[in-house]
Amino acid sequence: AVLFALALWLSARGGGAPPEPVSGVRAELAGAKSAETVWIRRSESRIGQMEARLRDLDTKNKRIDAENARLRERITKDAADGRLVIDRQAAAIDQLRRKLEARPIAPLQAKRAARGAGTKRPAPGRKTRTAPSAPMILEFEKSSSPTNGGPAAGARPLSWWLPAGAYAEAVVLAGVDASVGVSSQGDPRPVLLRLTGKAQSAAAEGKALEADVTGCTLTGAAYGDLSSEKVYVRLRTMTCSGPGPGTVIETRVSGFVAGGGKAGVRGPVVSREGALVEKAFLAGLVSGAGETAANVLQAPAGTAGAENAASLSDLGRAGLGAGAGSAGRKVADYLIRRAEQYQPVIQLQTGTRVTVVFIEGSRLDGQDEAKVANNRRNPE
């Protein structure tokens, strides 16, 4: 029994025979260049690009919100200014209406009313023969000052009246760089001119009538028009020497400035946004090249068991390309915004000879024609 047990034990141990040879070896290499590591690095690169784009979008949204806030504030201010102008005009209309309602009865009408009140009326039921009405006599008074009405009453001497349609030569004392933007007419630039000759008006017996405005200065408002390359000036105020020493007379005038026989003065167009557009173009090229390099040098998606990991130098070049693309894009956007702020201007040089045309008549003695006519109709 003991020998049998010993034999079983020896057979279980192999009997001291050599081990069975191995037919094949299976091994798997694992390290930093495995497919999983490649996938992780590529995912991190894409996540970084997405975060950069999100930051850019956030910055653009904040800028748009700020611009919208400024636009809302400007619209509110313009609406308030418009309401103020409307209220002032309504107040002026009410004042004129009250003056018309409180207008006194003319002396001739008062005499007629008194004459009608003084006549005796017949008793009721009694027939009386009405006497023929006395002839009416109208009295006219000749006035040296002009009155509105018939042709004779509308005659005005050129000593104190500047007629509509009169024109005079002038020189520009203070020029202007007139903007040609959409809102340039709402925000015109000031211009100063000096009249160098008499204002010529209608012709009488082959000779033009003249009003002496030599030496007077004119202020105007100028704006540019890019399609015609001209500066248009609207006249506002004319200042002339007064009758006494050291005195001046200011008069509101309406007219325009002409050059070369046409309304407006042609001038050189100055545009300064060309350099910024060129720089924005170069920045766009850098942005495109950087983004292309980043896309080419990105690590490709690897398969399990394959060694497709990008080298450290490739990752560095890809990051440099992505950074150059993002920076170039931001610089290009900044330069484009700067270029949009540069509007072309048309120059009106100092010393330019022009022709001033008055389209409405005005007094040269500084008085308001409307007030003078109103006082003449309603004497106190």
* CA atoms 168, 173, 174, 176: torsion sign: positive
- For the chain, residues with pLDDT lower than 50 are 25, 32, 108, 119-120, 128, 134, 136-152, 303-308
Which single residue is written with the structure tokens 């150059």? 324
* CB-based contact 172:193 (threshold 8 Å): yes
Which residues lie across from 266 on neighbouring strands?
A: 230
Q: Tell me how far apart the alpha carbons of residues 324 and 52 are, in angstroms, rounded to a whole number.
A: 13
* Residue 129 pLDDT: 52
What would the pLDDT profile of 129-147 be if each residue is shown by its tens digit? 555 554 544 444 444 444 4
Is residue 353 within 8 Å of 173, Cβ to Cβ? no
Residue 245, number of CB atoms within 10 A of its CB:
6
Contact 209, 373 (CB under 8 A): no
Pairing state of beta strands 269-270 and 199-204? Answer: unpaired
Under a CB-based contact definition with an 8 Å cutoff, are residues 161 and 360 in contact?
A: no
Sequence letter at residue 149? G
pLDDT tens-digit readout, 12-36 = 555 555 555 555 545 555 554 577 8
Residues of the chain with CATH 2.40.128.260: 156-171+186-268+353-377
Hey, what amino acid is at 11?
A: S
Which of these, 320, 248, 333, lies nearest to 289 by C-alpha position? 320
Under 8 Å between Cβ of 143 and 375: no
Give the span between the Cα atoms of 342 and 347, in whole angstroms.
15
Diameter of the chain measured on Cα atoms: 186
In this structure, are residues 231 and 263 in contact, taking their beta carbons and an 8 Å threshold? no
CA proximity to 215, closest of 198, 234, 230, 229: 198
pLDDT at position 168, please? 94
pLDDT at res. 243:
85
Residue 167: phi and psi, rounded to 5, are -140, 150
Q: What is the pTM of this model?
A: 0.46
- The residues, any chain, with a CB within 8 Å of residue 91's CB and separated by 6 or more, are none
- CATH code for residues 156-171+186-268+353-377: 2.40.128.260
